[in-house]
């Protein structure tokens, strides 16, 4: 069973985001970049599937400029077998990313495509669902537990009301939630070994084809600064203040 795993390069979650002076995007020069935390969980789960004797080949995929190879090498050091760098200087939107993964899933004949449920830079939470629709395969989103039985995946999902257990036929798209696992720590020897693992580069145009982005970025603005708070002495005073501000 072959498992395809998405890996996105994002600004590290410990870094305070700053907007460019011209409002055209987020500052990334000199900023620490890391693997998207939800994708790191997807990589870990793929490795665990192989350790349980379910998966036979694990392929990490990342889309972007050459810099994304750093995160692919991290995935290889964690235990992925090989990696594919889809080379592009453009920031692809979720639909375009889904189209790329559909093409790769068909080329690689993947049985499972594991993706983080969302990326922490845009919080879109769209790629997995779009991929399932384009690929015409079942989807199991927000997975907190995954069991593979033959050609069926039993997935425990985190939903608003609690937990939901569903079964989907493979091939399928599965997106990972935070409580699925805790990714392993990568040691230096594994990082050195990862440099010898195969990493293929494919131009995005070969997988995506011609097309015009459906969304255009206008401006990026930081959130408004919070005003100073006040202290009230009683519930009555609190209610009166909220009424004066038109909040209730």
| Phi and psi at residue 34, to the nearest 5° | -145, 175
Contact between residue 168 and residue 175 where contact means Cβ atoms under 8 Å apart: no
- Helical segments of the chain, H only: 37-51, 69-78, 94-108, 127-135, 188-194, 204-208, 235-244
Alpha-carbon distance 57 to 43, whole Å?
12
Q: Write the CA distances from 147 to 44, 45, 154, 159, 180, integer angstroms.
A: 14, 11, 5, 18, 12
Alpha-carbon distance 6 to 36, whole Å?
10
Give the pLDDT of residue 214.
Answer: 75
Give the pLDDT of residue 8.
Answer: 97
Give the pLDDT of residue 199.
Answer: 96
Q: What is the pLDDT along the chain (248 residues), one digit of tens a residue?
A: 999 999 999 999 999 888 888 888 888 888 999 999 999 999 999 999 999 999 999 999 999 999 999 999 999 999 999 999 999 988 888 999 999 999 999 999 999 999 999 999 989 999 999 999 999 999 999 999 999 999 999 999 988 888 999 999 999 999 999 999 999 999 999 999 999 999 999 999 888 865 667 777 788 888 888 888 889 999 999 999 999 988 88
User: Which burial class, exposed, middle or buried, applies to 243 when counting CB atoms under 10 A from its CB (0-12, 13-18, 19+)?
Assistant: exposed
Give the pLDDT of residue 205.
Answer: 87
Contact between residue 191 and residue 131 where contact means Cβ atoms under 8 Å apart: no
Supply the angle between the helices 127-135 and 94-108 in degrees, to the nearest 10.
Answer: 50
Q: What is the phi-psi region of residue 228: left when phi exceeds 0, alpha when psi lies from -120 to 50, beta otherwise?
A: beta
Element (H, E) at 143: strand 139-149
Give the pLDDT of residue 217.
Answer: 79
Domains and CATH numbers, the chain: 2-244 (3.40.50.620)
Give the pLDDT of residue 215.
Answer: 78
Contact between residue 207 and residue 103 where contact means Cβ atoms under 8 Å apart: yes
**CA dihedral over 80, 85, 89, 90, signed as positive or negative:** negative
């Amino acid at each position: 069973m072959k498992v395809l795993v998405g890996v996105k390069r994002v600004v590290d979650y410990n870094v305070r985001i700053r907007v460019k002076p011209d409002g055209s995007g987020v500052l990334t020069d000199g900023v620490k970049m890391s693997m998207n935390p939800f994708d790191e969980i997807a990589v870990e789960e793929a490795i665990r599937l192989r350790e349980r004797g379910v998966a036979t080949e694990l392929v990490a995929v990342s889309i972007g400029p050459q810099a994304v190879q750093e995160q692919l090498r991290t995935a290889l050091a964690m235990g992925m077998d090989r990696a594919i760098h889809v080379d592009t200087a453009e920031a692809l939107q979720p639909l375009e990313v889904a189209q790329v993964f559909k093409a790769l899933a068909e080329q690689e004949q993947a049985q499972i495509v594991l993706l983080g449920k969302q990326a922490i830079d845009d919080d879109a939470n769209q790629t997995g669902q779009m991929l399932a629709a384009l690929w015409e395969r079942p989807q199991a989103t927000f997975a907190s537990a995954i069991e593979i039985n033959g050609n069926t995946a039993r997935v425990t999902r985190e939903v608003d009301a609690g937990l939901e257990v569903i079964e989907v036929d493979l091939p399928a798209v599965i997106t990972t939630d935070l409580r699925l696992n805790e990714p392993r720590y990568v040691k230096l020897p594994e990082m050195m070994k990862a440099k010898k693992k195969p990493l293929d580069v494919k131009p995005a145009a070969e997988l995506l084809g011609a097309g015009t982005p459906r969304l255009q970025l206008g401006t990026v603005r930081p959130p408004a600064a919070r005003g100073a708070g006040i202290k009230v002495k009683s519930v009555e005073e609190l209610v009166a203040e909220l009424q004066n501000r038109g909040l209730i």
